Structure 1
């Protein structure tokens, strides 16, 4: 029981995935660390605790940098977006919960004095996810927050949703490699 309480209340940045998230969103990096982002996605997809640990670590990383380090927040938001696009339903359910999305909204509150690019990023994520996950009851929190923000007359950035990468990547309909038969018969080119 004590181990469970420690896991639930411990610092999520001390887990293996949390440490990787902290390293990948370090503000001193010259740009996004895409290799680490993809490694984090693999960790989320390949372990039972991955989705929960990652969601908690991302949330903590955002909270600890809100209003202090906008670069770290932007890197973390880009990581979050990458994980949503590359991870499965267990992760989606956690990061589209109403509590998680409301924490995203807090990032752009006046208390944190966010730059316009950060505000736009958060609103874009909420809008995109609300459209992608509508009709999925386990992901309805993001839709509820989006509707609440719309009712408060929050202006969302104009987004070309047709040009964005899909969140729901369709399964392959053809195996990854399938040898095709040649269009011609090599024997017909003999020089007899």
Structure 2
């Protein structure tokens, strides 16, 4: 049973086509479209069998090596992000046997062949701890027995890569699993297995790939809200620390600017031949008078000194002209 009431397979093929577009070079994929597809699979908006069949069709329907490689890359991406319910359909004869057949095709592109063998080997290792997914390992051993040359394993393959968190399965029940209240014929089909008073809330569940609000039980809703509140507090703490750091930096900068201004004024007075008492005082003495009055007095003294110098320079010129 789907969380969304009905399957949403109408847009499945367009997403796959967008993710493996022929315009993308080197057999790469559109990761935005790939994430959208894997989220829909993981959140069970798309039935896993439909997703498996559409992905397989995309690979088998093309002879273009670039599109084949991108299709395989998309399959691998969904395997690692689609959830265990999707892997059950991947590890099936319906999905795996056509790949055995295409590996025997002499016209298969060499790079595509090597990439497919590499993926089957990788999937076999990832699925090795899951008994329900053993058919992929059976295929791997079969191909080894047929002398297919698999690439050397050069890096560690972690089986936890396929352990994506998914939405729980719906279960049929005659009573609410919280309060044991019996369902009527109508609300049994409406609320699944929780009484309405225990599942009246709705929210998004991005950790399950569900990006639209869905009805959840009160317990799950409270857990979700607690997580949001914790994230908000963490974000506020980081923002507060950044604000304090910026404030301290600003104060330090202003203090430096004041010191630079005082030094510039003192230098100007020294060049003018003046040694006012204000410039010979200690730092403690300077800090006592109001800063704006000190600066105004120093500036006034500097201007007066400049006028006196100008006046002294003009006097000899006037005497010479008179003589």
Do the aligned partners of residues 160 and 50 (structure 1) sit closer, same or farther apart at CA in structure 2, a change above 3 Å counting? farther
Map 1:1-192 to 2 at 5 A.
Answer: 15-30=10-25, 31-65=28-62, 68-111=63-106, 113-162=107-156, 167-169=161-163, 179=234
CA distance in 2: counterparts of 1:127 and 1:63, whole angstroms: 20
CA distance in 2: counterparts of 1:165 and 1:27, whole angstroms: 31
Number of residues paired by the alignment? Answer: 167
User: Structure 1 stretch 81-90 or stretch 41-50: which is displaced more?
Assistant: 41-50
Asked if structure 2 preserves the Cα contact closer than 8 Å seen for 1:98 and 1:145, the reply is: no
Greater length-normalized contact order (CA 8 Å, ≥ 6 residues apart): 1
Asked if structure 1 preserves the Cα contact closer than 8 Å seen for 2:53 and 2:95, the reply is: no
Do the aligned partners of residues 141 and 122 (structure 1) sit closer, same or farther apart at CA in structure 2, a change above 3 Å counting? same
CA distance in 1: counterparts of 2:164 and 2:35, whole angstroms: 19
Asked if structure 2 preserves the Cα contact closer than 8 Å seen for 1:97 and 1:140, the reply is: no
Do the aligned partners of residues 69 and 80 (structure 1) sit closer, same or farther apart at CA in structure 2, a change above 3 Å counting? same
CA distance in 2: counterparts of 1:17 and 1:170, whole angstroms: 20
- Once the two structures are TM-superposed, the CA of residue 165 in structure 1 deviates from its matched residue by 8.9
TM-score for both structures, normalised by structure 1? 0.73
CA distance in 2: counterparts of 1:20 and 1:90, whole angstroms: 20
Report the 3-state secondary structure (helix = DSSP H, G, I; strand = E; otherwise coil) of the residue aligned with 2:161: coil
- Once the two structures are TM-superposed, the CA of residue 135 in structure 1 deviates from its matched residue by 3.7
CA distance in 1: counterparts of 2:130 and 2:11, whole angstroms: 30
Do the aligned partners of residues 37 and 149 (structure 1) sit closer, same or farther apart at CA in structure 2, a change above 3 Å counting? same
- Once the two structures are TM-superposed, the CA of residue 22 in structure 1 deviates from its matched residue by 2.0
Do the aligned partners of residues 58 and 146 (structure 1) sit closer, same or farther apart at CA in structure 2, a change above 3 Å counting? same
Report the 3-state secondary structure (helix = DSSP H, G, I; strand = E; otherwise coil) of the residue aligned with 1:158: coil
Q: CA RMSD in A?
A: 3.2
- Once the two structures are TM-superposed, the CA of residue 48 in structure 1 deviates from its matched residue by 4.5
Q: Which has the larger radius of gyration?
A: 2
Report the 3-state secondary structure (helix = DSSP H, G, I; strand = E; otherwise coil) of the residue aligned with 1:167: helix
Do the aligned partners of residues 164 and 114 (structure 1) sit closer, same or farther apart at CA in structure 2, a change above 3 Å counting? farther
CA distance in 1: counterparts of 2:159 and 2:16, whole angstroms: 22
CA distance in 2: counterparts of 1:170 and 1:24, whole angstroms: 20
- Once the two structures are TM-superposed, the CA of residue 53 in structure 1 deviates from its matched residue by 1.8
Residue-by-residue CA offset, 1:23-76 (whole Å, 9 max, x unaligned) = 2212233342111111111111123434222111011111211xx211111111
CA distance in 1: counterparts of 2:152 and 2:15, whole angstroms: 33
Gaps of 5+ in 1: 1-6, 8-13, 187-192
CA distance in 1: counterparts of 2:133 and 2:48, whole angstroms: 14
